[in-house]
């Protein structure tokens, strides 16, 4: 599609800035967007032009406008259909996006097509990186800054299925795909039976456990029979999307026994397909006890700046948002966060405040080598959980550079072995007290009855970890760690105000795109809030009418349609200055 000519100067008689100037004050959110954000989007048009063939096909919709509409979708939490209507009828949207009063809008499916173009071209983070650079130029984000990091769970846009439901649904999709690509005469003789069993009929949830087990074995036999019949077909048929997915689900859900009959797997791996409609969504849990969250979906890592001690009124801004598979660890998320920030070349770390899931001996050593500090509590040594009595690992004085260790009895062991575990590329050191333990007075307290002598194994950077375990007990460290707490509020804001908890789309690439636009919308909201001059604090009588949730910068870009709307107010822009300051 060819590109239209971008009009930067509106018509005198159709520009909202001319004919409706009195409708929007200088501090109106839409006018601030047009003043501060729209020029940034226009500056990225050259990169957006790469999504199109400049001289071929019918003229496309202006990509900068579509870019801005996608941002507004997450600022005001509206779906595609409503966003297309607001572009046509909402004066504030037209002002913010530099549109004429007579602009007739576009069909809502253009938004989906534009998102696909961004994903295919690898420009999912274009809006986020462009805004982050602008924030850096404005002085809101320093090149080398303190940051905090935490993760959150994202629920996929699919239902949670049992193993039986998953294989039956996968079979249904495969049968429907085969019916589309094959002629009626090419279908096998068992086709009517399979079609009736998996397409026309549904699973009866009131069936007994024995009946459900029989149906699961039956589904495995039918799946195997179908896959064997497919071997004689052409490659382009066998390699259809749903058929490839069927092979993968069958391999995960069943195992072939001696009689070559499929039997359901009793214990599944962590990364098995949970729903064929979104194969990349994985099952995971986060937290413990009553705070445990579990579901099928993805994971996201959110990093934001920490205001300097003398700039507490300055808002924090999100510096990176990394989407992960649900089963990936926070340690892997930290690595991807560092890589993402290095690629943007906008921010770098001086200090990073995290919880214990991110802290390890290797990561502390890497942070020291790279010249930044990883601030967070270290987890308890796994050896403390294994030893229920006697002397623990911290009771030994270990000197790795000198290759020696001192036990509680005062005996020095110089019998040190260096172990390189190639599978994980980690180095360990093992200390043994072979001859020292035979006549030691503390033998009964130090060794179990089956052990001949004491052996301890520590990591290559064990001393850094022990040093951190000592630091985290001090009051100074606890006060320092208070700077991490605000990231919890940021994640709550992203969840409640921008819809981070549930994905709108299916597939890892689309969820990643969604998260980039959510972070972009949050940064825009905070920037525009900082651009407004502070108001004097109202008294309680003025403020009691507007009771709002404790979301940072809540009044700006409140969802037009959704829950938690205070007292039936349709737009946050209709609130008085007193209400906005509340």
Domain ranges of the chain: 16-123, 145-155+296-371+479-517, 163-264, 382-471, 533-581
Q: Give the per-residue pLDDT at 333.
A: 95
Give the burial class of 512: count Cβ atoms within 10 A of its Cβ; 0-12 exposed, 13-18 middle, 19 or more buried. Answer: buried
This model's pTM is above 0.75 = yes
Residue written as token pair 């900068």: 64
Provide the β-strand partners of residue 297: 155, 282
Tell me how far the alpha carbon of residue 523 is from its chain's centroid.
17
The CATH class given to the 145-155+296-371+479-517 domain equals alpha beta
CA distance 146 to 19: 45
Phi, psi of 462 (to 5 degrees): -60, -35
Per the CB < 8 A criterion, the answer to whether 376 and 358 are in contact is: yes
User: How many H-runs (helices) and E-runs (strands) does the chain carry?
Assistant: 24, 14
pLDDT values of the chain reduced to their tens digit, one per residue, 582 residues: 567 777 665 544 456 666 666 777 778 889 899 989 999 999 999 999 888 876 676 778 889 999 999 999 999 999 999 999 999 999 899 989 988 888 899 999 999 999 999 999 999 999 999 999 999 999 899 999 999 999 999 999 999 899 999 999 999 999 999 999 999 889 999 999 999 999 999 888 888 999 999 999 999 999 999 999 999 888 999 999 999 999 999 999 999 887 678 888 888 777 899 999 999 999 988 777 777 788 899 999 999 999 876 555 678 999 999 999 999 999 999 999 999 999 988 999 999 999 999 998 889 999 999 999 999 998 876 544 444 446 777 778 888 888 888 888 888 888 888 888 777 778 888 888 877 787 787 877 787 777 778 888 888 888 888 889 889 999 999 999 999 999 999 999 999 999 999 999 999 999 999 999 999 999 999 999 988 855 444 444 433 333 333 333 344 454 444 434 333 333 333 333 333 333
Q: Give the per-residue pLDDT at 427.
A: 82
Show the tokens assigned to 542. 């003025």
Cα–Cα separations (whole angstroms), residue 111 to 2, 82, 114: 17, 11, 5
Per the CB < 8 A criterion, the answer to whether 99 and 43 are in contact is: no
Q: Give the per-residue pLDDT at 8.
A: 63
Q: 447: closest CA among 380, 386, 389?
A: 389
């Amino acid at each position: 599609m060819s590109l239209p000519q971008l009009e930067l100067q509106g018509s005198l008689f159709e520009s909202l800035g001319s004919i409706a100037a009195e409708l929007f004050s200088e501090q109106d959110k839409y006018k601030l967007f047009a003043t501060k954000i729209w020029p940034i989007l226009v500056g990225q048009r050259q990169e957006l032009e790469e999504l199109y063939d400049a001289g071929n096909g019918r003229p496309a919709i202006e990509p900068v406008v579509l870019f801005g509409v996608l941002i507004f979708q997450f600022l005001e939490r509206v779906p595609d259909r409503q966003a297309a209507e607001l572009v046509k009828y909402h004066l504030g949207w037209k002002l913010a996006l530099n549109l004429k009063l007579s602009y007739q809008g576009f069909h809502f499916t253009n938004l989906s097509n534009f998102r696909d173009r961004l994903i295919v071209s690898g420009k999912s983070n274009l809006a986020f990186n462009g805004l982050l650079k602008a924030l850096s130029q404005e002085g809101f984000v320093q090149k080398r800054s303190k940051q905090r990091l935490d993760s959150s769970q994202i629920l996929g846009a699919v239902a949670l299925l049992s193993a039986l439901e998953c294989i039956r649904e996968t079979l249904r999709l495969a049968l429907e795909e085969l019916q589309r690509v094959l002629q009626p005469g090419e279908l096998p003789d068992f086709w009517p039976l399979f079609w009736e069993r998996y397409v026309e009929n549904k699973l009866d949830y009131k069936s007994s456990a024995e009946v459900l087990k029989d149906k699961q074995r039956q589904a495995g036999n039918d799946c195997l029979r179908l896959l064997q019949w497919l071997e004689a077909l052409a490659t382009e048929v066998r390699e259809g999307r749903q058929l490839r997915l069927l092979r993968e689900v069958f391999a995960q859900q069943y195992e072939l026994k001696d009689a070559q009959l499929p039997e359901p797997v009793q214990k599944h791996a962590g990364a098995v397909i949970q729903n064929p409609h979104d194969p990349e969504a994985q099952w995971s849990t986060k937290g413990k006890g009553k705070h445990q969250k579990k579901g099928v979906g993805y994971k996201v890592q959110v990093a934001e700046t920490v205001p300097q001690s003398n700039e507490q009124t300055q808002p924090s801004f999100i510096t990176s948002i990394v989407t992960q598979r649900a089963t990936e660890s926070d340690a892997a998320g930290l690595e991807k966060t560092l890589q993402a920030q290095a690629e943007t070349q906008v921010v770098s770390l001086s200090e990073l405040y995290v919880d214990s899931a991110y802290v390890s001996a290797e990561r502390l050593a890497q942070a020291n080598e790279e010249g930044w500090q990883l601030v967070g509590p270290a987890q308890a040594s796994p050896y403390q959980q294994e030893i229920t009595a006697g002397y623990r690992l911290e009771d030994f004085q270990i000197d790795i550079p000198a290759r020696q260790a001192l036990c509680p009895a005062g005996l020095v062991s110089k019998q040190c072995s260096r172990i390189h575990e190639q599978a994980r590329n980690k180095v360990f050191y093992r200390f043994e007290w072979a001859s020292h333990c035979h006549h030691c007075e503390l033998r009964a307290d130090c060794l179990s009855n089956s052990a001949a002598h004491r052996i301890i194994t520590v990591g290559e950077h064990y001393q850094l970890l022990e040093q951190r375990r000592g630091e985290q007990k001090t009051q100074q460290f606890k006060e320092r760690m208070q700077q991490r707490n605000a990231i919890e509020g940021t994640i709550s804001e992203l969840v409640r105000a921008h819809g981070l908890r549930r994905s709108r789309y299916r597939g890892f690439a689309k969820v990643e795109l969604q998260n980039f636009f959510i972070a972009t919308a949050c940064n825009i909201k905070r920037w525009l809030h900082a651009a407004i001059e502070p108001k004097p604090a109202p008294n309680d009588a003025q403020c009691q009418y507007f009771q709002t949730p404790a979301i940072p910068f809540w009044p700006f870009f409140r969802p037009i349609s959704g829950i938690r709307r205070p007292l039936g107010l349709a737009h946050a822009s209709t609130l008085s200055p007193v209400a906005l300051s509340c």
